[in-house]
Amino acid sequence: MAKGVTLRDVAALAGVSSRTVSNVVNGYAPVAESTRARVQQAVDELGYRPNVLARNLASGRSGQLAVVVPYLDTPYFAELLQGIIRAARVRGYNVLIDQTDGDAEHEKLFLSRGSQQLLFDGVIFSPLGLAQTDLTERDASLPLVVLGERVSDGSFDHIGIDDVSASREATEHLLDLGRRRVAAIGDQPYRTGEAAQLRTRGYRLAHERAGLPVREEYVISTPRFNRSDGATAMAHLLDLQEPPDAVFCYSDLVALGALHTLAARGLRVPEDVAIVGYDDIEDARYSNPPVTTVSPDKRMIAETAVERLLKRITTPTPVPGMEIRAPHRLIPRASTMGPTLPAPATGA
């Protein structure tokens, strides 16, 4: 913290009350977005950091937040973690990160507060190995915010995007371009594949609205959303008697793998096969061609997850669970629109 900078200094620069600054940095209460931005700018300009040691000694808390994700090598989670760390740091909290590899037993360890011996005060959790029903067996006293597609049972907050709507929009984009053989790569028809199943539902809904049948051989399941899955699935689709002329990929990594196979087969994108991805990771903006993608508001997800978790940690009475939908948008790029599309700006 810059020497001598106080919460009152931040309030004066931002033109708000000290209580408002406290609410922003500690996540105690909802604050208007314009006010939050003004306070954040003042915090950054002055280099203010809360006095973590004093706060923790007074409250008996650790000052640590745990963030539990399936994979650290997935760019989507890496980018999301950056936002969570920044949001926690400005509020005076450190972040502990754990990778579960989707192992259900490992994930369950983070749902038992007693077993952690107060190493952290609460958890931001993106489960993969656990299904919806597993979350009801957790320690209800543990402050918890869940990311992804596990709906809240009322005792924790859930933040996600509307996967059905986003996937429908992605598929409709391809259909609106005149593509009629649209495939989907990434379905996961098993107990913990809720996110993939919702994306498949959106894919099917787009066909239904267009009055077009879904060709079941075009719906390809994958164990994960990674490059090798996309490359293998794309090869399978190209070997069909009538290959697709467009593919909706359930992640940008899947899309990058599909692009690799298409290039190896000597096919042009988007002239021969158009590609849409999902997640808006940085790599997809700089691929050849850049990938049209569904872009979730990762910054909002990260900020809201930290705010809601801190509210649960600092409020002595139980906080009702909230279902929060983060916005998303479809970003057209050259993988569907052709090489005449302008190069994307950073963050587009």
Give the tens place of pLDDT for each residue, 296-325: 999 999 999 999 999 998 887 878 888 999
Query: In this predicted structure, what is the pLDDT of residue 190?
Result: 81
Tell whether the model's pLDDT for residue 344 goes beyond 60: no
pLDDT reported for residue 340: 52
Query: Do 1 and 111 have their domain in common?
Result: no
88-92, 149-153, 188-192: range with highest mean pLDDT: 88-92
Report the distance separating Cα 185 and Cα 242, nearest Å: 16
β-pair type (323-325, 328-331): unpaired
List alpha helices for 91-138, DSSP H: 104-109
* DSSP symbol at 216: G
Tell me what the pLDDT averaged over the chain comes to.
87
On whether both 101 and 155 belong to a single domain, the answer is: yes
In a domain, 342, yes or no: no
- One domain, residues 286 and 170: yes
Higher per-residue confidence, 310 vs 25 = 310
Tell me: do 289 and 180 sit in the same domain: yes
Domain that includes residue 7, residue range = 1-49
Same domain, 245 and 211: yes
Predicted pLDDT of residue 308: 93
Does residue 54 form part of some domain? no
Specify the length of the chain in residues. 348
The domain that holds 31 is classified in CATH as 1.10.260.40
pLDDT confidence tier of residue 9, bands split at 50, 70 and 90: confident
Structure confidence at residue 142 as a pLDDT band (50, 70, 90): confident
In this structure, the answer to whether residues 110 and 133 fall within a common structural domain is yes
Q: In angstroms, rounded to a whole number, what is the distance separating the alpha carbons of residues 170 and 174?
A: 7
Q: What is the identity of the amino acid at 71?
A: Y
Residue 156 lies in a domain: yes
Please report the pLDDT score of residue 341 as a whole number: 46
Quick one: what percent of the chain has pLDDT higher than 70? 89
Summarize pLDDT for 53-91 with one digit per residue, the tens. 455 545 556 788 999 999 998 999 999 999 999 999 888
Evaluate if residue 2 carries a pLDDT over 70.
no
Q: Residues 195, 243: one domain?
A: yes
Q: Is the pLDDT of residue 115 over 60?
A: no
State the pLDDT at residue 55: 57
Q: What is the pLDDT of residues 246-302, one digit of tens each?
A: 999 999 999 999 999 999 999 999 999 999 999 999 999 999 999 999 999 999 999
Measured in whole angstroms, how far is the alpha carbon of residue 233 from the centre of its chain? 24
Confidence of residue 234 (pLDDT cuts 50, 70, 90): very high
For position 192, what pLDDT does the model report?
73
pTM > 0.85: no
Residue 1 has pLDDT above 50, yes or no: no
Clarify whether residues 187 and 251 are in a common domain. Answer: yes
Residues 292 and 180 in one domain: yes
In a domain, 69, yes or no: yes
Same domain, 230 and 292: yes
Q: Which CATH number covers residue 256? A: 3.40.50.2300
Same domain, 88 and 99: yes
pLDDT in the model for residue 333: 97
Assess if residue 152 is contained within a domain: yes
One domain, residues 142 and 219: no
The structure tokens listed for 127 are: 């489960």
**88 DSSP assignment:** H
Contact 306, 164 (CB under 8 A): no
174 DSSP β-pair partners: none
Measure the CA–CA gap between 200 and 187, rounded to whole angstroms: 6
Q: Among candidates 233, 223, 135, 145, which has minimal Cα distance to 184?
A: 233
